Amino acid sequence: MADANTFRPLDWRDWPLLHRVRDTGLCFDSQLAHTSGPHALQNALLDVFIPGRSALTVVGRIGRESIVGQMLHYNSQPHARLAFIGPAEAVAGPACEAMLDALAQTAGEHGAHNLIAEVDEDSPAFECLRQAGFAIYARQRIWRLADPYSAESVDQRSVHPDHGRVSPAWRNETAADEAPVRFLYVNLVPGLVQQVEPPPRRNGRGLVYWNGGDLLGYLDIERGPLGDWVQPYFHPAAEEPDELLIEFMIRSNSRRRVPLYVCVRSYHGWLTIPLERLGFEMDSDQAVMVKRLAASVRRPALAALPALEGTRAEPTAPFIPMEEHTPAAGAGGTT
């Protein structure tokens, strides 16, 4: 009897199912959810037109229940990000754990070493991820400013007591900033996180803050129709983070009128006070979870050599009798 649980890659027969669940699933990539939304159908359609991105979509059937899962794998990086599972009601059932196992297997087959998911800890999906072998390696809080680019919002926060406006600090990243940004990342981010996530993926939209020849700040920025997303990397030596954030909002002033989201990881918790002073409100608290798909080898693995098994090593030079090494009489020996 055939197994009732089947999983396979998406094909043309699944477009009606994908269309049906596209707005009813859960997104496990917070940046994607807050900038573009969990558009599993759109990701699958646009995948062939976006260089370096691979949207891996799996369709499953658990008994009579259908479920769709999707993850994003960029440029053959060592990690993949869980993007979507739908419908939402399936996330709390046994179909979710089976789908997570199928996605992990697919990610491993495409060369990913880690599968990353971001989820609210009070969500039913949190326990499902734990049961499927995901573990917490970081926590993050997402802050939201509803209309950061309005004239009132910027003007009320941009007045400087000395000269009316904050002085310029940020500039667009260039190729020459790649090594300093990586060095800043290595010095700020805990080693456990570095084992799972690589340095920020530079897209040309990031901003850098140099002071006295040192890189003290980097903003990893992503923009989308639903909002702007900022992942900050601030060195503790960076003074006046409030003013740096104000200047960023002044630089980014636009007519789009979309919310601004700032993702603050637990190791950057000191940014909470500056964000509250600027009027940000907490949007959600999340656990950042990972499932390891490959393990590093910490000691050599010994393998048998069939050509030598059951044989005895033979000398490659003749043995020399010990008497040939006896010193001659009177050559320093005892008489």
Q: Any idea what the CATH number is for the domain that residue 107 is in?
A: 3.40.630.30
289 located within any domain: no
Element housing 186 (H / E)? helix 178-188
CB 280 within 8 A of CB 145: yes
- The residue type at 100: L
pLDDT band at 163 (very low <50, low <70, confident <90, very high): very low
63 and 146 co-located in one domain: no
1 located within any domain: no
Domain boundary among 133, 168, 201: 133
182 and 118 co-located in one domain: no
Q: DSSP letters of 204-242?
A: S--EEEEETTEEEEEEEEEE-SS-EEEEEEE-TT---HH
> How many domains does the chain contain in total?
2
64 and 190 co-located in one domain: no
Residue 151 φ/ψ, nearest 5 degrees: -60, -40
Average pLDDT estimate for 176-194: 92
Q: Which residues contact 150 (CB under 8 A, 6 or more apart)?
A: 257
CA 94 to CA 309: how far, in whole Å?
Answer: 49
CA 155 to CA 27: how far, in whole Å?
Answer: 35
187 located within any domain: yes
CA 212 to CA 206: how far, in whole Å?
Answer: 20
331 located within any domain: no
Domain boundary among 243, 268, 284: 284
212 located within any domain: yes
pLDDT band at 25 (very low <50, low <70, confident <90, very high): confident
126 and 209 co-located in one domain: no
222-275 pLDDT tens trace: 998 899 999 999 998 888 888 898 888 887 766 668 899 999 999 888 899 999
CA 119 to CA 103: how far, in whole Å?
Answer: 17
Predicted confidence (pLDDT) at residue 149 exceeds the cutoff of 70: no
65 and 162 co-located in one domain: no
Predicted confidence (pLDDT) at residue 98 exceeds the cutoff of 50: yes
CA end-to-end distance (rounded Å), the chain: 94
324 located within any domain: no
Percent of the chain with pLDDT over 90: 35
167 and 72 co-located in one domain: no
104 and 179 co-located in one domain: no
330 located within any domain: no
69-97 pLDDT tens trace: 899 888 778 889 999 998 888 887 778 88
pLDDT band at 166 (very low <50, low <70, confident <90, very high): very low
Which of 7-21, 49-63, 257-271 is least confident? 49-63
pLDDT band at 220 (very low <50, low <70, confident <90, very high): very high
257 and 196 co-located in one domain: yes
Domain boundary among 263, 284, 305: 284
CA 323 to CA 317: how far, in whole Å?
Answer: 18
303 located within any domain: no
Residue 294 φ/ψ, nearest 5 degrees: -145, 150
119 and 148 co-located in one domain: no
Q: How many CA atoms lie within 13 A of 295 on its CB side?
A: 3
Give me the domain span that covers residue 148: 142-284
217 and 276 co-located in one domain: yes
183 and 207 co-located in one domain: yes
121 and 192 co-located in one domain: no
Instruction: Give the global pTM.
Output: 0.79
